[in-house]
Structures are given as structure tokens and as C-alpha cells.
């Protein structure tokens, strides 16, 4: 019978095995120990082929001392690019195939102020594993030639992977870093695991004591972005509502009642845009945010999560569109449709296309997106200036009238 070590080594895709063996032998030459840890080991142990095959796969390597030296040699040998953070003892190597390999020097972390990032002291692999979020992410696999594939499991991660449990390593963990709540729920839904009973209580306690208030908007937003890229994002978001997590972030915020339908609308809008507007850049996250927010919550959430101005404007314009689209009627002329919709970001229009209940409003928005907005004016400002006109409000009016005629004379 194959041992667990043989089994996980067999699971490593060849393209990655090459890198791991190379990193291990460089570490060996430099007389330091080297491990791969975190998500990669977890997915190997779960035989999660989808995750392992993902092109965005990244490797986390922990070296006991001098991670940067090892990273530099590996980058040299593979002619890969490297970013070094000397003061943190870390380096990121990006290979030609675009694998990201993060090298860190084994460390211990302490949390001095609520919600802040931890301070770091270089340390052993054991302590490095104890600073991690969950037992399932705290299994390390040696990559030294002498014991390649050997597992270090100080925190019963293998047992929790077997019994499908999410469990933090100590009772203060969610308080130290409440973003772990989002991570726990994300893994729970991704792997169909359960957050263990004790952790559910710890999470509730952190929420009840408003520890989330100490986390910056940017860090919470990062967690949402990671949730948005999950296949089962909607399940994760629904599970967050079980913990009343939305109103812990912003008091008036809760998941809309018809959330699953609205989310489905947003997903369909994105899929539709990929098919029909392939040359346009669509900010998919902006469309997904529309499914989570409404007129009452947009401002407060934008503020708390420190949305960039561009995203904020897109979300705000959705409220305007709700009013504007009521001015459309089934007999609106193309020029009227163009005039009304022309100032709206594409994300807002595609979301409305799927979320709108009125079929003729949908028809008009679709006509605008697929046809009207691509029409080039036959007469431009330059043409008029060449004919001796001076730029003026009258000239702008003449131009618009000519363009409007052109739009209204289009054949269906
Ligand atoms: P994913 O598949 O979601 O990318 P991952 O395990 O690769 O999972 P990362 O966010 O890339 O997740 O983090 C890498 C590792 O760093 C984790 O496996 C975990 O051990 C550790 N880690 C990440 N975030 C935290 C945190 N907030 N607290 C403690 N450890 C963390």
C-alpha cells in the first residue's frame, strides 16, 4: 500500500515537482531546511485537482533562515524574475510560466494592537506553523532531497482534513485577526467542510464584541474580492449572513432578501458581456457589488470599505439609472435611448439588462449596448470647424441634432 508521502508526491503536477525539487536542492546546498506549506499542501492532501491545475497556482515556501539567498539562486537558475523584501526576509519569484513562488523566512508573529498587522521575529518552522490561521493550512511538507514529501503536522491538520473541519489554532486567533472569519467561511463553502462548534462560538464572540471595527476597509474589501472569485461565492455570502456578518461591518447592511436571484442576475450579466461585448473591459467585481448593495446601503458600505472613486461612481450611477430608465417607453426613439444611457458605465447597464423586470426596457438597453453606442457620427465637430463654424453651444446642438437624425434613421 502506498504511504501518505508517496501518495502526495504522486499528486504533485510534474511542472511543479521540477520547481520543488530544485528549491529543495538549493536549500540543501546552503544547509538550510525548506518546506512548502499552506494552500498547496492542503490541496495536495485533499487531491483537489481543480485547485492544483489552476493557472494562478502559487507556491509558499518556508525556509528556516536565509529565504532570500535561496530565492535568489532559484531565480537565477530558472531565469525567473524576483522581488526581494529585505526587511521582512521574503522574496517573490515569478517564473516564465507565471508561477508565483513566495519565499519566507520562518517566523513568529505577535499582535500588539487590535486589527493591526502583526510584528515579526524570525524563528523555526514549528513556530511558523503555529502562527497560521487554520490547522488545515498549517501542515508543512519537506522539500529537501533527503526527506522530500515528509509532513510536519503539529496541529492535527491531517485529522481535520480527514474529518472536514475548519479549526483555528488557539482561542484568540479570530480576535487577533478577524479577517480569518472570512477565510474560515470561504474554505468551509469551497471544500464543503464545517467550521467546528468551538470556532463558531469564537467567531460569534468576535462579531458580538465589534472586533471587526478595528479592521481597515481595505483589508475587508480584499476578503470580499477573494470571495468573489470563488465558484460558490453566493454560498459563502449566504453563510456570512448566518453569522450576521454584513451588519457587523456596516450596521444597516444585510443580504438582500432576493439575494440568490440578484446574484444570479449579476453572474448572467457578466457571462452575457463576455459573449456579446468581448472587446470591452468590464469590471466584474463592480457588477457583483451591485447584487450586494441597494440605494440605502451603497453609500455607507462604499465609505466603510474605502471603495475607489471609480467603483463608487459606478455604484452610485446605478441609483440614477433606476430613475432614468423609467423615462424610457416602448416607443422611445433610438436618439432618446442614446441620450439617456450614454453617460452610464457599462457595468451598470449590463446589470440592469439582467435585473430589470420590464422587457421593453431591457430591449432598449440591449439595443443601446449592442448597436447604438457603436454608431459613429457622420458629421463631426472637425467637419463643422473646417466649414468655418466656431465651437459654441449652437454648434454642439447642431452636431447632436444631426447625430440624433442619423440614429433614428438606422434600420432595425
Ligand atoms: P487560497 O487557495 O485561498 O489561495 P491559500 O492557503 O493559498 O489559499 P493564502 O491567502 O495565499 O491562502 O495564504 C497562504 C498561507 O498563509 C495560508 O495557507 C495560511 O497558512 C497563511 N495565512 C494567510 N492568511 C492568514 C491569516 N490571516 N492568518 C494566518 N495565516 C494566514
- Mean pLDDT value across residues 382-396: 83
- Mean pLDDT value across residues 316-335: 89
Report the separation in Å between the CA atom of 293 and the middle of ligand 1, taken as the mean of its atom positions: 28
Nearest protein Cα to ligand 1, atom 7: 39
- Mean pLDDT value across residues 385-410: 87
Residue 254 belongs to some domain of the structure: no
The reply to whether 20 and 135 lie within a common domain is yes
Nearest protein Cα to ligand 1, atom 2: 39
The reply to whether 283 and 240 lie within a common domain is no
Report the separation in Å between the CA atom of 133 and the middle of ligand 1, taken as the mean of its atom positions: 7
Atom of ligand 1 nearest to the CA of 133: 29
Report the separation in Å between the CA atom of 330 and the middle of ligand 1, taken as the mean of its atom positions: 52
Atom of ligand 1 nearest to the CA of 58: 7
The reply to whether 198 and 218 lie within a common domain is yes
CA 23 to chain centre: 29
- CATH number of the CATH domain containing 329: 1.10.3090.10
The reply to whether 135 and 195 lie within a common domain is no
* 353-363 pLDDT tens trace: 988 877 788 88
Mean pLDDT is lowest, of 6-10, 15-19, 105-109, for: 6-10
Res. 119 pLDDT band, cuts 50 70 90: confident
The reply to whether 61 and 201 lie within a common domain is no
CB–CB of 93/108 below 8 Å?
no
Residue 34 belongs to some domain of the structure: yes
Task: Provide the pairing of β-strand 165-166 with 194-195.
Answer: parallel
Report the separation in Å between the CA atom of 352 and the middle of ligand 1, taken as the mean of its atom positions: 36
Residue 32 belongs to some domain of the structure: yes
Q: Tell me, what's the pLDDT at 52? A: 63
The residue among 249, 281, 302 that closes a domain is: 249
The reply to whether 142 and 26 lie within a common domain is yes
C-alpha cell read off for 78: 530558472
Q: Tell me, what's the pLDDT at 64? A: 93
Nearest protein Cα to ligand 1, atom 25: 133
Q: Which of 45, 53, 58, 133 to mutate to test the pocket of ligand 1 (most atoms within 8 A of CB)?
A: 133
Q: Tell me, what's the pLDDT at 385? A: 84
The reply to whether 95 and 222 lie within a common domain is no
pLDDT at 55 over 60: no
pLDDT at 387 over 90: no
pLDDT at 151 over 90: yes
- Mean pLDDT value across residues 358-372: 90
pLDDT at 178 over 90: yes
- CATH number of the CATH domain containing 47: 3.30.460.10
Residue 278 belongs to some domain of the structure: yes
* 262-299 pLDDT tens trace: 999 999 999 999 999 999 999 999 999 999 998 889 99
CA distance 347 to 341: 12
Residue 83 belongs to some domain of the structure: yes
Res. 65 pLDDT band, cuts 50 70 90: confident
Q: Tell me, what's the pLDDT at 310? A: 94
Contacts of 337 (CB under 8 A, 6+ apart): 328, 364, 367, 368, 372
CA distance 34 to 341: 57
Q: Tell me, what's the pLDDT at 53? A: 63
Q: Tell me, what's the pLDDT at 222? A: 97
Residue 117 belongs to some domain of the structure: yes
Report the separation in Å between the CA atom of 268 and the middle of ligand 1, taken as the mean of its atom positions: 30
Other residues' Cβ atoms within 10 Å of the Cβ of residue 24: 23
pLDDT at 386 over 90: no
- CATH number of the CATH domain containing 180: 1.10.110.30
Nearest protein Cα to ligand 1, atom 28: 133
Q: Which domain holds residue 305?
A: 259-374
The reply to whether 269 and 172 lie within a common domain is no
CA distance 181 to 199: 9
DSSP 326: G
Residue 40 belongs to some domain of the structure: yes
Q: Which of 132, 135, 153 to mutate to test the pocket of ligand 1 (most atoms within 8 A of CB)?
A: 132
The reply to whether 49 and 85 lie within a common domain is yes
Q: Tell me, what's the pLDDT at 20? A: 95
pLDDT at 344 over 60: yes
The residue among 249, 275, 303 that closes a domain is: 249
- Mean pLDDT value across residues 345-366: 90
Report the separation in Å between the CA atom of 39 and the middle of ligand 1, taken as the mean of its atom positions: 7
Nearest protein Cα to ligand 1, atom 18: 38
Q: Tell me, what's the pLDDT at 360? A: 82
Report the separation in Å between the CA atom of 209 and the middle of ligand 1, taken as the mean of its atom positions: 25
CB–CB of 134/11 below 8 Å?
no
Report the separation in Å between the CA atom of 60 and the middle of ligand 1, taken as the mean of its atom positions: 9
Total of domains in the chain: 4
Q: Tell me, what's the pLDDT at 176? A: 93
The reply to whether 360 and 387 lie within a common domain is no
pTM attached to this predicted model: 0.90
Atom of ligand 1 nearest to the CA of 186: 3
Res. 116 pLDDT band, cuts 50 70 90: confident
Atom of ligand 1 nearest to the CA of 42: 6
The reply to whether 9 and 155 lie within a common domain is yes
Mean pLDDT is lowest, of 92-96, 102-106, 118-122, for: 118-122
pLDDT: which is higher, 117 or 396: 396
Task: 361-368: list long-range contacts, CB under 8 Å, 24+ apart.
Answer: 361/325, 361/328, 363/330, 364/328, 364/332, 364/337, 365/325, 365/341, 367/334, 367/337, 368/337, 368/338, 368/341, 368/342
Mean pLDDT is lowest, of 4-8, 34-38, 191-195, 309-313, for: 4-8
CB–CB of 126/88 below 8 Å?
no
- Mean pLDDT value across residues 2-15: 78
pLDDT at 229 over 80: yes
Q: Which of 137, 179, 189, 226 to mutate to test the pocket of ligand 1 (most atoms within 8 A of CB)?
A: 137
Q: Tell me, what's the pLDDT at 117? A: 75
pLDDT: which is higher, 26 or 56: 26
Report the separation in Å between the CA atom of 38 and the middle of ligand 1, taken as the mean of its atom positions: 6
pLDDT: which is higher, 171 or 97: 171
Report the separation in Å between the CA atom of 260 and the middle of ligand 1, taken as the mean of its atom positions: 28
CA-nearest of 74, 5, 86 to 34 is 74
* Protein residues whose CB sits closer than 6 Å to any atom of ligand 1: 38-39, 60, 132-133, 137, 177, 179-180
The reply to whether 40 and 183 lie within a common domain is no
pLDDT: which is higher, 290 or 257: 290
- Average pLDDT of the chain, as a whole number: 91
Nearest protein Cα to ligand 1, atom 10: 39
Res. 257 pLDDT band, cuts 50 70 90: confident
The residue among 162, 186, 216 that closes a domain is: 162
Residue 321 belongs to some domain of the structure: yes
Amino acid at each position: 500500500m502506498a504511504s501518505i508521502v508517496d501518495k502526495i508526491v504522486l499528486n504533485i503536477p510534474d511542472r511543479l515537482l521540477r520547481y520543488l525539487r530544485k528549491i529543495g536542492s538549493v536549500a540543501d546546498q546552503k544547509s538550510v531546511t525548506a518546506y512548502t506549506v499552506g494552500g498547496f499542501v492542503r490541496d495536495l492532501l485533499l487531491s483537489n485537482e481543480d485547485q492544483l491545475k489552476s493557472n494562478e497556482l502559487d507556491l509558499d515556501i518556508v525556509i528556516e533562515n536565509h529565504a532570500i539567498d535561496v530565492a535568489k539562486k532559484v531565480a537565477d537558475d530558472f531565469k525567473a524574475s524576483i522581488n526581494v523584501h529585505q526587511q521582512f526576509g521574503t522574496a517573490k519569484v515569478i517564473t516564465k510560466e507565471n508561477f508565483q513562488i513566495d519565499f519566507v523566512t520562518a517566523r513568529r508573529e505577535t499582535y500588539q494592537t487590535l486589527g493591526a498587522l502583526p510584528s515579526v521575529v524570525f524563528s523555526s518552522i514549528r513556530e511558523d506553523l503555529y502562527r497560521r490561521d487554520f490547522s488545515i493550512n498549517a501542515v508543512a511538507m519537506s522539500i529537501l532531497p533527503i526527506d522530500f514529501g515528509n509532513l510536519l503536522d503539529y496541529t492535527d491538520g491531517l485529522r481535520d482534513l480527514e474529518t472536514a473541519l475548519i479549526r483555528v489554532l488557539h482561542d484568540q486567533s479570530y480576535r487577533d485577526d478577524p479577517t480569518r472569519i472570512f477565510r474560515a467561511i470561504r474554505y468551509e463553502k469551497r471544500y464543503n467542510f464545517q467550521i467546528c462548534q468551538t470556532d463558531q462560538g469564537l467567531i460569534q464572540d468576535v462579531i458580538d464584541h465589534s472586533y471587526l471595527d478595528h479592521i481597515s476597509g481595505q483589508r475587508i474589501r480584499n476578503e470580499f474580492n477573494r470571495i468573489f472569485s470563488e465558484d460558490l461565492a453566493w454560498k459563502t455570502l449566504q453563510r456570512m449572513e448566518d453569522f450576521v456578518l454584513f451588519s457587523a461591518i456596516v450596521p444597516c447592511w444585510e443580504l438582500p432578501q432576493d439575494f440568490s436571484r440578484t446574484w444570479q442576475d449579476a453572474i448572467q450579466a457578466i457571462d452575457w458581456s463576455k459573449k456579446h461585448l468581448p472587446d470591452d473591459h468590464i469590471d466584474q467585481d463592480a457588477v457583483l457589488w451591485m447584487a450586494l448593495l441597494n440605494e440605502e446601503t451603497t453609500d455607507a458600505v462604499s465609505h466603510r470599505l474605502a471603495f475607489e472613486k471609480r467603483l463608487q461612481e459606478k455604484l452610485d450611477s446605478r441609483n440614477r439609472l433606476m430613475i432614468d430608465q423609467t423615462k424610457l417607453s416602448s416607443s422611445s426613439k433610438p436618439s432618446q435611448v442614446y441620450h439617456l444611457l450614454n453617460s452610464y458605465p457599462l457595468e451598470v447597464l449590463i446589470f440592469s439588462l439582467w435585473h430589470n423586470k420590464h422587457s421593453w426596457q431591457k430591449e432598449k438597453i440591449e439595443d443601446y449596448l449592442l448597436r447604438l453606442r457603436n454608431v459613429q457620427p457622420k458629421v463631426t465637430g472637425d467637419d463643422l470647424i473646417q466649414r468655418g463654424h466656431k465651437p459654441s453651444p449652437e454648434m454642439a446642438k447642431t452636431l447632436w441634432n444631426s447625430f440624433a437624425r442619423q440614429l433614428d434613421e438606422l434600420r432595425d
